[in-house]
């Protein structure tokens, strides 16, 4: 009994390329089921053998908070009200960025052995990393909410800005992930080098400490750190209960759009060569 595919016969013509940038977007839409499968694989396999399963995504930040609050507010003696909310909000955003960029690289390397044999739109891997990171971020937000309430902070109206901040940081992160995964195909040591960059980058921004412990004369240096704008627009509505400064929002938006465009452009231009190298 023949059971042919019902989709219309696909025509592939190597000379039919209009704008590679948009072709890849169209292909991603066509492969949306694959995106969904890969993201759900990541979520399922992460906690596959554990009893609590996905609940760990929420428990983990809570546990981390208890340790950090004890360690920092008592050992370091940083006098900052509601220190744990301050740290956790910064940490969640940072973890989202570092995990997503790292997994963009490892997803592409994992897919490498498939790229020799079957056609897959290569952008799938970076977008999968982003989707997984977003789900994890959203699942840990309830933990942040609990810590807020425990510290006597009730969310105020500006909290509705948080999704916008997440959208902007996602665009920036995807752009970085695309650039890094392009590099890692050609140079395997990109991954290791990026770990060192991440480690120092982490301490070069006000996540574990408030900006005012830095002497005034050095503070301008922080303006060169793109992450600091995303930290500000994400943390201000949560920690201070205020709308983020318009200037920071504007810079963050400009960074998000330009890095994503650059990443997408570089990635799609080089993607055809991946099969030769991976």
CA distance to 18, 51, 91, 192, 264, per residue, from 256 (Å): 25, 38, 19, 25, 12
Nearer to other proteins, 45 or 154 (CB): 45
Rg of the chain, C-alpha, whole Å: 21
In eight-state DSSP terms, residue 7 is S
Q: Total binding residues for other proteins by CB under 8 A? A: 41
* In the complex, minimum distance from the CB of residue 55 to other proteins, in angstroms, rounded to a whole number: 18
* In the complex, minimum distance from the CB of residue 258 to other proteins, in angstroms, rounded to a whole number: 23
Residue range at the interface with other proteins (CB under 8 A); choices 38-46, 137-145, 173-181, 201-209:
38-46
Query: From CA 185, how far away is CA 49, in angstroms rounded?
Result: 31
Query: From CA 249, how far away is CA 243, in angstroms rounded?
Result: 10
CA distance to 104, 144, 164, 174, 262, per residue, from 91 (Å): 20, 10, 18, 18, 26
Only one residue has tokens 């231009």, namely 269
User: Pattern 192-221, binding to other proteins, x per CB under 8 A?
Assistant: -x----------------------------
User: Pattern 110-149, binding to other proteins, x per CB under 8 A?
Assistant: ---xxxxxxxx-----------------------------
71: contact with other proteins by CB under 8 A: no
* Binding stretches for other proteins (CB under 8 A): 2-7, 9-15, 31, 33-34, 36-38, 41, 44-45, 48-49, 113-120, 183, 187-190, 193, 272, 275-276
């Amino acid at each position: 009994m023949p059971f042919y595919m019902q989709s219309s016969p696909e025509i592939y013509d190597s000379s039919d390329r209009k704008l590679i940038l948009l072709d890849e977007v169209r292909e991603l839409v066509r492969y949306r089921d694959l995106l969904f499968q890969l993201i759900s694989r990541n979520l399922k396999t992460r906690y596959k053998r554990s009893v609590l399963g996905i609940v760990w995504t929420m428990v983990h930040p809570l546990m981390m908070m208890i340790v950090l609050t004890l360690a920092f507010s008592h050992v370091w003696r940083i006098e900052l009200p509601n220190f744990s909310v301050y740290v956790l909000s910064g940490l969640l955003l940072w973890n989202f960025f570092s995990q997503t960029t790292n997994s963009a690289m490892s997803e592409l390397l994992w897919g490498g052995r498939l790229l020799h044999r079957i056609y897959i739109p290569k952008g799938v891997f970076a977008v999968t990393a982003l989707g997984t990171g977003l789900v994890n971020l959203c699942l840990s937000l309830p933990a942040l909410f609990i810590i807020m309430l425990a510290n006597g902070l009730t969310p105020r109206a500006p909290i509705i800005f948080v999704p916008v901040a997440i959208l902007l940081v996602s665009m920036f992160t995807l752009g970085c992930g695309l650039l890094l995964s392009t590099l890692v195909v050609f140079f395997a040591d990109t991954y290791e080098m990026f770990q060192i960059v991440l480690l120092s980058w982490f301490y070069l921004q006000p996540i574990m400490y408030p900006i005012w412990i830095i002497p005034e004369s050095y503070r301008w240096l922080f303006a060169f750190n793109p992450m600091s704008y995303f930290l500000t627009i994400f943390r201000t509505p949560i920690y201070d209960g205020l709308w983020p400064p318009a200037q920071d929002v504007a810079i963050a938006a400009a960074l998000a759009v330009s890095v994503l465009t650059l990443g997408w452009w570089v990635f799609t231009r080089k993607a055809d060569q991946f099969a030769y190298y991976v």
